[in-house]
Chains A and B, each alone.
Chain A
Amino acid sequence: MKRTFNHPPAPTTGKKYWRSLEEFAETPEFRARLEREFPQGAAELEGDEITRRGFMQFMGASVALAGLGLTGCRRPEIHAVPYSKGVEWQVPGNALHYATAMPRRGGAIPLIATTYNGRPTKLEGNPNVPGFNGSTDTFGQAAILDLYDPDRSKVVLKAKERGKDYIEATWEDFWEEFAILRRDYLKNGGEGLAILAEPSTSPTRERIRDLIQQQFPKIAWVEYEPWAGPWAGSTQPIYNLEKADVIVSLDCDFLGASEGTIQNIAGFSAGRRRLGKTQETMSRLYAIEGRFSLTGGMADHRLRVPSSNIDGVVTLLASKLGVASGNSFTAFNDPNIEAWITEMAKDLMSAKGRSVIICGSQQPPSVHLLLQSINGALDNIGKTINYIPSVTSVGWPLGNLAEQISRGTIKTLFVLGGNPAFNAPAEISFDSLLAKVEQVIRLGLHVDETSATATTHIPAAHFLESWGDAYTCGGAYLSQQPLILPLYNGISEIELLAELAGLPKAKGAEHIQQTFGKLTRGNEPDLITYVDEIEKKWHQYVHDGFCENARLKSSAIAPEFLLAKGHIVPFKPLQPGEYELNFVLGNIDDGRYANNGWLQELPDPVSKLTWDNALYVSPKTAKKLGVDVSPPNNNTQDLPNTDVSPRTSNSPVAIDPTTAFPMLKVTTPDGRSMELPVLVAPGQHDQTLTIALGWGRTAPRLTEESRKNVTAPLRVAADAGFNVYKLRTSATPGFVTGVKVEKIDKTWPLALTQEHNSMEGRGLVREASLEKYHDDPAFVQEIGIDKDTPQGELKGYQNYESGYGTPKLNSKDYQPDRPAWGMVIDLNSCVGCSACVVACQAENNIPIVGKFQVIRGREMHWIRNDRYFASDDTKDSSYLDDPQMLIQPMACQQCENAPCEPVCPVNATVHNEEGLNVMAYNRCIGTRYCANNCPYKVRRFNFFNYNDRPIQNVKLPVLGQVGELYLGPLAGKDGPLTYKGTPDSIALQKNPNVSIRIRGVMEKCTYCVQRIEEAKIDQLRKANGSGDITLPTDSFKVACQQVCPAEAIVFGNMNDPNSKVSIAKQDERGYGVLAYLGTRPRTSYLGRVRNPNMAMPGAAHIGHTSPFEEKSPAEPKNGSDKPEAATTR
């Protein structure tokens, strides 16, 4: 019998949850777009160069040729090539795991690398290092792709003409030249020699640096980092967020892009997870910021204040808490701010010793100092805050080097890593300065902007190809061991510096061993002697990935200078009508990961923007500037047909009106200006304009001949986004005030994923305030039409025989002693960092598709993070301006009554006995019925052979030019990869346990079935001749679960009562998305709980209502009317 589901009507009261401004406004265009399975053009061939008739001719010819040659009748002879000599530990087919570390700005992260036959394929966190939960972040996950980047520099290059013409040189040539250079500089003590490096946390580099400075006393050692924190070279605080009850974030995206993100998320989510487990309360987060960050999304209270006024907030807070004296304080224009901060200060006072205030690293040092004294006054030091000596090295600032260069005293400059020609402060114009230096030797992973200013470029080794050591930002001492010999003959920074210091050439880890010996045996001056004890310790260190004995000791006592009172900050409030430009970091960090396709295609966690950066403005400001959401022109032509960036193309490119975004010209007070595309960002402060740094990389424009030597540089990064370093000066690294903006008559295509695969608001995300949760812990059941649906139908996994009669899957075969896989995602812990998206991509061989394919809605991510804004359901724009944010990871729900299965004509997607909705790729014929029938929109279709197809136009003998259907990131750009699909090096990254899907195949999340099968096989192998086949409890993790720093994703066997997932499934906050359809999803969610302070202004609106709630919505009366006793924490 056909069941008709009457979806609940649109709510008339209560809170509204929306994913985009179009959805909020409910424009007819948006409705029409939603009705479609894929966006316009995604499922059609229209506009492509091949016509239907041409396609038939082409296919006919291929078939005829295939028949003539009878190639299909012959089997190719396949060879098996064993090792000639066995390799230690190596078992073909089995993975080996090694501990290593990823050096990062502000502190390394510990990793376990998986290798197959000597090729690393996946990185995971090292669970033995405390503080990391065995997790990683997006950068850690994507690093494996950087290793295999085909655009990495491969040879030593010597300039015939800088920036234009380079010839290939040999390493022997280089070392010969290097020896002469070294000999000459030894004579004059290094006068005229300079080294520009990135700050590092490696003790070995510090040790070699000392040796170099002894030999070359006059050397200029400069260190530059575009996003340096305030603590370099001093003492830095470490926060124990899990111990804090009240957390205040001041312009600090400590859950998104900052130093120590993983530890922060782990600590913060532990504080949220207390709820219902150990305590009836959880921590409370206040966020004060100008743009909407992930931290702001997690906040219980969020106040919009421009970054440039954070100093005022801190001063005000200090005066409320009695830390600062004196009244040199100019009040804020908005009285609401003072009321807000007063209540927050009261809350902080009541949580003395259990609170912490964190400040963004780009705020001026004076703000940081004042904040430390506030933390001191709140008795937090030694409790929620400890101090360690700064792990980051310091050198001369870049400004000093620039001055020396312009005076002409620098003759030879080594640029080690980094990319100063791209990201140096704008006022230095460093790239032109470098041209004044006689000899610039660049060690770099890519031939990039800085290489274009160099006289010699030498390829650097990736961190997975070299020995090293590093501190984490919490002070743990990590080992970094190579997983593979350098793919492209690169050398590491340490090797080059050791050569300069005249140390003997290392065969392996000698330089690191020496440092290790010193650190573990105390500062003995003699070289390491291979006594057994040290060797044993060393092996243990490399094996474990860290050495507890060599950890930097943290102190519970703050240095005097931090707590000295009287760091009053002069405060100049932003005047009405004045704009500030706020620089932030996005998915490609400071630009160093720009050539990583996974990160470029990863949607920004908040704006859902891919492949670009854009200027975020608030809806109100957009309206004022005339750049609000309505399409700027009536251009109805289809998408551009070639992957030509509008920047480089001569003719105006036709752009889908829904993806053409208006542009603004931004001019800073010192006269620098840029034209930038605008994205309307709800929750943004009206006077704050935000843009992410790092985009807008350009490959050097080389001559035809030298391009042959330089392998197609930066094909992924080039032309993605805009380089706003050009607007950033050293005086204003975080924000610049007094910015002028004007609308210009240009548009720019942006690829947003926020509306793709929308499920429309049907109680998908559910939240409540802590108060409501205490009243009714099962509040999620009251939301949506779940309350009208029988419980057995909602919780199918508990009662297999119940539910709808058809189709009754597996009921006959179902055996309780088989595992039943299930997943629980805790919306209260998930911060939306998107590490799961990249982890899934790395584990499951998911391809990237390119900007214009994303515009067509063809992105392939198996797990997406739906971002919902929540505001009271009113068209009153004051709530539109200041909404709350919720993030919901959404992958295949593994429905027990999966709607995708009955519609598949070839049984390619079926259920297995363990409750997985499995996908047999080789059976799929690509009808896409399943995707059409999936209510969760989690199936992805390979419109093209993204993994292996010609990436440039193909010329065939008879048919001539055959159009390029794949407009991916590597298409249509020059390079040696003509007529070849995936570059060989990229193929090395693929997980051998997952099929590579070809064109025309549907794919989706399978709960990492390869990991499930591997675990089962392991147990069966152990069982051998016995019946002991039951899997141990929680013996393995799926990829998204393993990477999650917040431990928000729990996966396991629901038939095992002791498994984490079984326990999580008992939680009263659990609900299934769209469960009323009777799909019985195996993935369920735990509703989010917000912890508002009821004394705060606007507290009644927070986490209080959800859609389709019948109970009368919360009185929108002012929260301050409520009695103080209502405060719960």
Chain B
Amino acid sequence: MANIFPKATNLILIKGLVALLIVGGLVTVAVWYYFTPKYSRVGYQPIQPVAFDHKLHVGQLGLDCRYCHSNVEVSSHSNFPSTQTCMNCHGQIQATNPKLKPVRDSWATGQPISWVKIHNVPDYAYFNHSVHVSRGVSCVSCHGQVNEMNVVWHNQSQSMAWCLNCHRNPQEYVRPVAADKPGATSPVFDLNWTPPAGKTQAELGKKLVHDWKIDPPQNCAACHR
């Protein structure tokens, strides 16, 4: 009896398996990369030209976020501080510390410090800091506990799905904008803030969303123009 399959078919199984392996491998690699925080840049922690320590300045010394990021309440951009802001203190404190040499050089020459940007919104998305902080979204919601970071890293994925998650469920994140007691920092800028005793974020958030008529836009034009 003649062979039903020609000789060439002997290799089909092997070829098929190899092809499957390659395809499977590619899919694995793709999922590995694109479906994990690596793709969305979480954990990105570049080395900055000046080893600025947020934990020291915010966590220990208690500087308000807005001392340096002064335009966050009025502008779409939350600005990097100018050299002048650094020199307000470091003109006297640690005035000779070699770690601060780039700052002093910048002050002397007028050449700005070139900080490495960690969070980057694409050019076709228009994010506005001021409207978020003035409507009760804390820095911590998007940037993590910066007050505990020696070197700042990318804490949240900041993908579009992540944006929409909050825009769909604002009650899980919004905080009061006024301080709980006189002299305290506004909960928006107090990165360690927790809801007052006896209240949960869910209850508080629901009330704020209702009282402030919070209705975050979910249409394209809100961010893409």
Task: Knowing A92-B71, A93-B77, say if A82 contacts B82 (CB, 8 Å).
Answer: yes
The answer to whether B80 touches A995, judged by C-beta atoms less than 8 angstroms apart, is: no
Whether, in the assembled complex, B112 has its beta carbon less than 8 Å from a beta carbon of chain A, the answer is: yes
* Cβ B116 vs Cβ A1024 within 8 A: no
Say yes or no: A79 contacts B213, CB within 8 Å. Answer: no
User: Does A77 have its Cβ within 8 Å of any Cβ on chain B?
Assistant: yes
Q: Is the CB of B131 within 8 A of A84?
A: no
User: B225 in the interface, Cβ–Cβ < 8 Å?
Assistant: yes
**How far is B85's CA from A788's CA once the two chains are assembled, in angstroms?**
70
B225 and A82 form a contact (CB under 8 A): no
B212 contacts partner chain A, Cβ-Cβ < 8 Å: yes
- Report the minimum CB–CB distance from A594 to chain B (whole Å): 33
Known A91-B75, A94-B75, A1025-B178; contact A82-B113, beta-carbon cutoff 8 A: yes
Report which of B46, B75, B225 forms a contact with A93, defined as CB distance below 8 A. Answer: B75
Q: How far is the CA of A921 from the CA of B112 in the complex (A)?
A: 34
Q: Chain A residues near B81 (CB, 8 Å)?
A: 82
A901 CB → nearest B CB, Å: 12
Contact B225 A75 (CB under 8 A): no
From residue 76 to 97 of chain B, which have CB atoms closer than 8 A to chain A? 76-77, 79-85
Q: Separation in Å of the A330 CB from the closest CB of chain B?
A: 64
Flag B117-139 by CB within 8 Å of A: 1 or 0 each: 10010111010101100111000
With an 8 A cutoff between CB atoms, is A525 at the interface? no
B23 interface hit (Cβ, 8 Å): no
Q: Which residue of A lies closest to B123 (CB)?
A: A995
Q: Is A958 an interface residue when CB atoms closer than 8 A count as contact?
A: no
For A912, list chain B residues within 8 Å (CB).
217, 219-222
B182 at the interface (CB under 8 A from A): no
Q: Given A84, A995, A1020, which contacts B84 in the complex, CB threshold below 8 Å?
A: A84
Asked if B41 lies at the interface with its beta carbon under 8 angstroms from chain A, I say yes
Among residues 795 to 816 in chain A, which have CB atoms less than 8 Å away from a CB atom of chain B? none
Nearest chain B CB to A64 CB, angstrom units: 16
Decide if B221 touches A86 in the complex (CB within 8 Å). no
Select from chain A the residue with minimum beta-carbon distance to B175. A1025
Q: Which A-chain residue is minimally distant from B74 (CB atoms)?
A: A91
Identify A81's interface contact among B74, B114, B211, B212, CB under 8 A.
B114
- The docked-state distance in angstroms from the alpha carbon of A805 to that of B111 is 63
The residue of chain A having its C-beta at the shortest distance from the C-beta of B111 within the complex is: A84
Residue B177 interfacial (CB < 8 Å): yes
Decide: A79 near B116, CB < 8 A? Known: A921-B124, A1009-B225: yes
A1027 at the B interface (CB under 8 A):
yes
* Interchain CB contact under 8 A, A913 and B135: no
Mark contacts of A83-114 with chain B using CB atoms, 8 A cut-off: 1 yes-contact digit, 0 otherwise: 11110000111100000000000000000000
A898 to chain B minimum Cβ distance, whole angstroms, is 14
Task: Give the docked Cα–Cα distance between A93 and B129 (Å).
Answer: 10
| Size class of the contact patch on chain B | 35 or more
Contacts A84-B82, A1027-B211 known; A995 to B115 CB distance under 8 Å?
no
Q: How far is the CB of A981 from chain B (nearest CB, A)?
A: 15
B185 at the interface (CB under 8 A from A): no
A1024: B residues at CB distance < 8 A: 134-135, 177
CB neighbours of A996 from chain B (8 A) = 123
Least CB distance, B121 to chain A, in whole angstroms: 11
Expressed in whole angstroms, the minimum distance between the Cβ of B196 and any Cβ of chain A is 16
Query: Which of A81, A993, A1020 touches B112 (beta carbons < 8 Å)?
Result: A81
Is the Cβ of B114 less than 8 Å from the Cβ of A79? Answer: yes
CB nearest to A1027 among chain B residues = B213
Q: Closest Cβ of chain A: how far from B110's Cβ, in Å?
A: 5
When A84-B106, A84-B111, A923-B220 are in contact, do A1025 and B75 touch as well, CB less than 8 Å? no
Residues of A within 8 A of B79 (CB): 82, 91-93
A interface, size bucket? 35 or more
Given contacts A993-B225, A1024-B177, contact A92 B219 (CB under 8 A): no
Any chain B CB within 8 A of the CB of A987? no
Residues of B within 8 A of A919 (CB): 220
Majority-rule SS of B interface residues: loop
Q: Does B37 contact A (CB under 8 A)?
A: no
**Distance in Å: Cβ of B171 to nearest Cβ of chain A:** 15
Q: Which A-chain residue is minimally distant from B220 (CB atoms)?
A: A920
Q: Is the CB of A995 within 8 A of B131?
A: no
CB-based contact B130/A84 at 8 Å: no
Would you give the 0/1 interface string for A62-86, flagging 1 where the beta carbon is closer than 8 Å to chain B? 0000000000000101111111111
Decide if B75 touches A1020 in the complex (CB within 8 Å).
Answer: no
The answer to whether the Cβ of B107 comes within 8 Å of any Cβ in the partner chain is yes
Could you say which of B117, B122, B212, B220 contacts A79, with CB atoms under 8 Å apart? Answer: B117
Whether a CB of chain A sits under 8 angstroms from the CB of B199 is no
Contact status of A918 and B220, CB under 8 A, knowing A84-B112, A1013-B126: yes
Q: Does A922 make an interface contact (CB < 8 A)?
A: yes
Name the A residues within 8 Å of B135 (CB-CB): 1020, 1023-1024
Q: Which of B170-187 contact A (CB under 8 A)?
A: 176-178
Structural contact, A1023 and B212, CB atoms closer than 8 A: yes
Q: Is the interface of A mostly helix, strand, loop or mixed?
A: loop
**When A81-B115, A84-B107, A86-B82 are in contact, do A910 and B220 touch as well, CB less than 8 Å?**
yes
B122: which A residues are within 8 A, CB to CB? Answer: 922
Contact of A1010 among B71, B213, B225 (CB under 8 A): B225
Cross-chain contact of B116 among A77, A1009, A1010, A1021 (Cβ < 8 A): A77
With known contacts A78-B120, A81-B112, A1013–B82 Cβ distance under 8 A: no
Q: How far is the CA of A1006 from the CA of B225 in the complex (A)?
A: 8
Distance (Å) between the CB of A373 and the closest chain B CB? 57
- Interface assignment of B7: CB less than 8 Å from any CB of chain A: no
Q: Tell me if A80 and B80 are in contact (CB < 8 A).
A: yes
Instruction: Provide the residues of chain A in CB contact with B116, threshold 8 Å.
Output: 77-80
Chain A residue at minimal CB-CB distance from B212:
A1027
B213 cross-chain contacts in A, Cβ below 8 A: 1027, 1029
Across-interface contacts of B225 in A (CB, < 8 A): 993-995, 1006, 1009-1010, 1013
Point out the residues of chain B lying under 8 angstroms from A91, CB to CB. Answer: 71, 74-75, 79
- By beta carbon, the residue of chain A nearest B208 is A1025
Q: Does A634 contact B (CB under 8 A)?
A: no
Q: Which residues of A contact B217 (CB under 8 A)?
A: 912-913
Min distance, Cβ B31 to any Cβ of chain A, angstroms: 15
Cross-chain contact B134 with A1020 (CB below 8 angstroms): yes
Q: Is the CB of A1025 within 8 A of B220?
A: no
Q: In the complex, which residues of chain B have a beta carbon less than 8 angstroms from the beta carbon of A1020?
A: 131, 134-135
Contact (A80, B41) CB under 8 Å given A92-B77, A922-B224, A1009-B225: no
Nearest to A1007 among chain B residues (CB) is B221
Which residues on the B side are within 8 Å of A911 (C-beta)?
Answer: 219
Q: Which residues of A contact B83 (CB under 8 A)?
A: 82-85
List CB contacts (< 8 Å) of A1007-1046 with chain B: 1009-1010, 1012-1013, 1017, 1020-1021, 1023-1027, 1029
Which residues of A have CB within 8 Å of B111?
Answer: 84
Query: Which residue of chain A has its CB nearest to the CB of B84?
Result: A85
Specify which chain A residues have a CB less than 8 angstroms from the CB of B41 in the assembled complex: 75
Decide if B106 touches A79 in the complex (CB within 8 Å). no
| A1025 B221 Cβ-Cβ under 8 A | no
Contact with A along B37-61 (1 / 0, CB 8 A): 0000100101000000000000000
Contact A1006/B115 with A82-B81, A93-B77 known, Cβ cut-off 8 Å: no
Whether A916 is near chain B, meaning CB under 8 Å from some CB there, is: yes
Q: What is the chain B residue whose CB lies nearest that of A1010? A: B225
Q: How far is the CA of A249 from the CA of B157 in the complex (A)?
A: 66
- Expressed in whole angstroms, the Cα–Cα distance for A1016 and B47 within the complex equals 38
Least CB distance, A774 to chain B, in whole angstroms: 43
11 other contacts beyond A91-B79, A93-B77, A911-B219, with CB at 8 A cut-off?
A75-B44, A79-B115, A82-B80, A82-B115, A93-B76, A912-B222, A913-B217, A922-B124, A922-B224, A923-B224, A1012-B221
Nearest 10 CB-CB pairs, A to B?
A912-B219, A93-B77, A918-B221, A93-B75, A920-B220, A82-B80, A1025-B177, A78-B117, A84-B83, A93-B76
> What are 19 residue pairs bridging A and B, where the CB atoms are less than 8 Å apart in the complex?
A77-B46, A79-B114, A81-B115, A82-B81, A82-B113, A83-B83, A83-B84, A86-B85, A91-B79, A93-B75, A911-B219, A922-B124, A923-B224, A993-B126, A995-B224, A1006-B225, A1025-B177, A1027-B211, A1029-B212
